[in-house]
Structure 1
Amino acid sequence: MAPIFTTLVGGTVGLITGMYSMGLRGRTVVKPHLSYAIFTAAGCYIGFKYYEFKQYEGQLIEKRREYLLEKRAQRQAEASS
């Protein structure tokens, strides 16, 4: 996933969360509030951090895979000798 996609999804979820919380309080939902901007910014930040985490996780998995392949090659070399 591209970082712009996860950021936009996070911002949308943040905006919907802000609107939902305003609806629970009994306030007008469509009237612009400062809290909408805060919720949207927080959602964008969380979405971007999710993207970074997935990239980091992929790097860790690849590093572990290479390590395991090296160990397998060593074991096979020892077994064949």
Structure 2
Amino acid sequence: MNQIEDLAHKQIAMMGQTLSVPTQIMAQIEQYRTARNEALAFNDDSNLPLVEELSQQWQTEAMILARWLSAQFPQDDRL
């Protein structure tokens, strides 16, 4: 029962808060955005491998995060 109460308190404490994003991840996001925008703006396919690789990496990271959040807060319907 204490574990449930602890999780409930954590969930209440985290509501409205955002997670900080490490500098390296922000740099990767910016690299992805730049490569994607250049590929679209110049109709240039040379950046597509980089765009695809980064896109796949972020999809994987997002799924891992979603699974972790679901495990932490199993009763939250938003997840």
Interval containing the TM-score (normalised by the shorter chain): 0.3 to 0.5
The alignment's TM-score, normalised by the length of structure 2, stands at 0.39
Query: Structure 1-normalised TM-score?
Result: 0.38
Which has more helix, going by share of residues?
1
State which structure, 1 or 2, has the greater radius of gyration over its C-alpha atoms.
1
